[in-house]
Amino acid sequence: MEKERRAVHALGSGGAEFIRTGCGPLGDMPMTVFRADAGVVWGAADAGRPRAWRVADAMASSVAAVALIVMVANATADDEIVMPANPAGTSATTGGGAADPARVAPRSEWMVAAYSGSPYTYPSDVKFTKAGEHDFTVKDVKWEGKPFINPIYYGVRVMRWFGSGRTGSMLDFTHSKALSKRTQQVKFEGTMDGKPAPEQALIGNIFNKLEASHGHNMLTLNGLLRLPSFTFRLSPYVGIGAGVSLPHSEVHLQTDASRTYEYQMAGPVGQAIVGLEFRLPRMSYFLEYKFTLADYRMPLTGRDGDILFTDLWQQFTEWWNGVEPRDGWAETRYTSHEIIGGLGVRLPTGP
């Protein structure tokens, strides 16, 4: 047995080795297994990346793997076909065919879903005001979404279809991003620090930060209408809704002592949606187009925040007490097209 086990190469303290475990399925051919210390092999690839990013990547991979397993399991286990009655007068079911239309037809039900996607946000003006110091506008700022760079574009929702499933409602949360291009040359109008603003400048020469990168977040309540189905599986729908924007505002003029870096309630948001649902017996895939419009009025507090709820509470108490933000206000409007795809689990409300 000593000859059956031999180390071929070592990698650091963890090491890696070939282990000969005996004969494989082809008789005399030995079966060889490669073993390596994952920390050694992958450590070099992750070196230099922030630990939080590595944890986020690992969590995202795990969630994606679990979601894939669940989708495959449900598609195979639940997607049954009802066969005609056999000679004994009973019916039978078998896998591998199309589902009974009655099992996937729209009905009164709940659906909990998650999705990802990609946005395009139009350029917009950003206006800055601060009593006695600033009153200027940055013209046509271009915004980047970077949907697949951490933190990624994602959303979660809860839907409720009523009666026969023709009308419904939805609570929808979307985490997007809007990052200015620091290398973009833009025009300025107005006064900055009590003096005329430059006619043109690079964004990166005026701002250290101008973005909502830990979220251009939107929470909306929507009404839904299901359109006539293409097939018993394919069900189109439309919707319209309104709510509030809850961005993580990240703004820092180079002339300000500190940055604004916190969650805020910045204003109203509206959205319109057109979607297509592919229905399995218990789950649904969906592809959707969203148009969103969000008006922002961000208080520039010059403060690093904490978590969403404590930041919003502090913002509310300052508003209630009439406290003006230290560094003034920033205002803009984000107008976006978004394409999303996701997966939902349906929960019927009746038999």
Instruction: Find all residues with CB under 8 Å of 255, minimum gap 6, and list them.
Output: 192, 193
Confidence at residue 240, expressed as pLDDT on a 0 to 100 scale:
98
Closest to 269 in 3D by CA, of 174, 177, 341, 202: 174
- Over residues 50-76, the mean pLDDT reads 46
Answer yes or no: are the C-beta atoms of 110 and 100 closer than 8 Å. no
- Residue 29: pLDDT band (50, 70, 90) is very low
Confidence at residue 232, expressed as pLDDT on a 0 to 100 scale:
84
Confidence at residue 201, expressed as pLDDT on a 0 to 100 scale:
93
Q: How far is CA 342 from CA 21, 48, 117, 267, 281, in A?
A: 44, 32, 8, 27, 16
Closest to 66 in 3D by CA, of 109, 111, 104, 114: 114
- Residue 6: pLDDT band (50, 70, 90) is very low
Distance, CA of 245 to CA of 201 (rounded, Å): 29
Weakest mean pLDDT among 79-83, 149-153, 161-165, 208-212: 79-83
Q: Where are the domains of the chain?
A: 23-79, 106-348
- Residue 15: pLDDT band (50, 70, 90) is very low
The type of residue at 289 is Y
Confidence at residue 23, expressed as pLDDT on a 0 to 100 scale:
44
Confidence at residue 147, expressed as pLDDT on a 0 to 100 scale:
92
This prediction's pTM: 0.72
Among 3.30.540.10, 3.40.50.720, 3.40.50.300, 2.40.160.20, name the CATH number for the domain at 106-348.
2.40.160.20
Q: For the chain, how long is the longest CA-to-CA vector?
A: 93
Distance, CA of 282 to CA of 79 (rounded, Å): 9
Pairing of strands 329-348, 124-130: antiparallel
Q: What is the pLDDT of residues 275-328, one digit of tens each?
A: 999 999 899 999 999 999 999 999 999 999 989 999 999 999 999 999 999 999
Token pair of 99 as six digits: 């589902």
**Residue 18 predicted with pLDDT over 80:** no
Confidence at residue 67, expressed as pLDDT on a 0 to 100 scale:
52
- Residue 104: pLDDT band (50, 70, 90) is confident
Residue 232 vs residue 3, higher pLDDT? 232
Q: What is the pLDDT of residues 172-205, one digit of tens each?
A: 999 999 999 889 999 999 999 888 999 999 999 9
**Residue 233 predicted with pLDDT over 60:** yes
Confidence at residue 19, expressed as pLDDT on a 0 to 100 scale:
39
What whole-number percentage of the chain has pLDDT above 70? Answer: 72
Residue 312 vs residue 15, higher pLDDT? 312
Confidence at residue 266, expressed as pLDDT on a 0 to 100 scale:
94
**Residue 163 predicted with pLDDT over 80:** yes
Pairing of strands 234-245, 207-226: antiparallel
Confidence at residue 92, expressed as pLDDT on a 0 to 100 scale:
43
- Residue 99: pLDDT band (50, 70, 90) is low
Token pair of 250 as six digits: 């990240």
Mean pLDDT, rounded, of the chain? 79
Q: What is the pLDDT of residues 234-289, one digit of tens each?
A: 999 999 999 999 999 999 998 888 899 999 999 999 999 999 999 998 999 999 99
Confidence at residue 46, expressed as pLDDT on a 0 to 100 scale:
40
**Residue 33 predicted with pLDDT over 60:** no
